[in-house]
Amino acid sequence: MAEISFWNMVGDAVMASSGLEKTVLAFLTVLSILSWAVIIMKVRALKRAKLNDESFRTAFAAAAHTGGLTKVVPPGSGPAPLQSIFNAAQDARAQAQAEAAAVAAPPPGELALKSPHQLEERVRLAMEHARKAEYAEIGRHISVLATAGSASPFIGLLGTVWGILATFQMLGTVKSASIQVLGPPIAGALIATAMGLFVAIPAVMFYNWITSRMDEEQELATCFSESLLRLLRATGAVDEGKATAAAPVAQG
């Protein structure tokens, strides 16, 4: 028995497929391309975020004050969660200082809509929102992998079921059936399920890996936020009494 190569087997099965099966295969091919594009983008984004976070941790550990820390990771260099968290804390303090000046002397009979109070809570929320925004951006379009992983096998199965139905209908119109007659249409039907699995397996594996890595990195970012907030408390940077002062966030 002659050995049949993989690509010859796939090509023969595709050629034996019906119109609906070919449509299913084309749709799954597009879904596979989209899945791999998302996988490549997310892996690169996670790698860049990790490198940027390591750079910021190194600079933060070596710094004696905040000078220059807002520009450790330049804009356009990819995701930088720790840099964004630090910048959000700085911006929250600066906004509190501006609001404190705005409510110093409101016009007679008017109510102030800005307040410098609850500075620590505002800084904490600003850091939390920055962290969530960064990882929401990193995780954008990851739902494509979840959709491909869950739907592709059923889409492929639809093509297979249709092909089997067509094959059985054909059997009712022929006087005799042999493996030479039944083999090609059945192979054409089964290739749809195989294609569905081909799309779903890497999508599920990379979806789980990417979400796991994102969870780990988010935990590290949360730990950094907590450490930064403790540092701000120790230096008095989130003291409401100092909200009107222009003193920068200091690292002691």
- In this prediction, residue 10 has a pLDDT band, given cuts at 50, 70 and 90, of low
Number of neighbours of residue 88 by Cβ within 10 angstroms: 21
What are the tens digits of pLDDT across the range 92-144? Answer: 888 877 776 655 566 777 766 666 567 788 889 999 999 999 999 999 999 99
pLDDT at 197: 93
Which residues lie closer than 8 Å to 96 by C-beta, 6 or more apart? 116, 119, 122, 243
Q: Output the pLDDT for position 167.
A: 75
Is the pLDDT at 246 greater than 50? The verdict is: no
Q: Averaged over 8-32, what is the pLDDT?
A: 76
Q: With beta carbons less than 8 A apart as the criterion, state whether 198 and 14 touch.
A: no
Rounded average pLDDT over 164-184: 68
Task: Parse the chain into domains and list their residue ranges.
Answer: 16-59+79-102+115-150+202-239
What is the distance between the alpha carbons of residues 47 and 77, in angstroms, rounded to a whole number? 12
Please give the residue that has the higher pLDDT: either 125 or 9: 125
Give me the residue label for tokens 């993989």: 6
pTM score, whole prediction: 0.78
- Say if residue 251's pLDDT is above 50: no
pLDDT at 212: 95
The CA distance from 43 to 144, in Å, is: 14
User: Which CA distances in Å does 148 have to 38, 131, 157, 187, 189?
Assistant: 11, 28, 14, 23, 20
pLDDT value, residue 1: 42
Q: Quick one: tokens of 56? A: 């910021």
Give 182-239 pLDDT, tens digit per residue: 666 777 778 888 889 999 999 999 999 999 999 999 999 999 999 888 888 887 777 7
Average pLDDT over residues 133-157: 93
pLDDT in tens, 46-104: 999 999 999 888 888 887 777 777 777 777 778 889 999 998 988 888 887 777 665 55
Give pLDDT, residue 95: 81
Cα–Cα separations (whole angstroms), residue 189 to 164, 212, 229: 6, 36, 60
Q: What is the DSSP string of the chain?
A: -PPPPHHHHHHHHHHT--HHHHHHHHHHHHHHHHHHHHHHHHHHHHHHHHHHHHHHHHHHHH-SSSTTGGGSS-TTSS--HHHHHHHHHHHHHHHHHHHHHHTSSPPTTPPP-----SHHHHHHHHHHHHHHHHHHHHTTTTHHHHHHHHHHHHHHHHHHHHHHHHHHHHHTT-S---HHHHHHHHHHHHHHHHHHHHHHHHHHHHHHHHHHHHHHHHHHHHHHHHHHHHHHHHHTTT-GGGTTS-PPP---
Count Cβ atoms below 10 Å from residue 197 Cβ, excluding itself: 13
**Whole-number pLDDT of residue 8:** 62
| Inter-residue contact 77 to 66 (CB < 8 Å) | no
Q: What is the pLDDT of residue 206?
A: 96
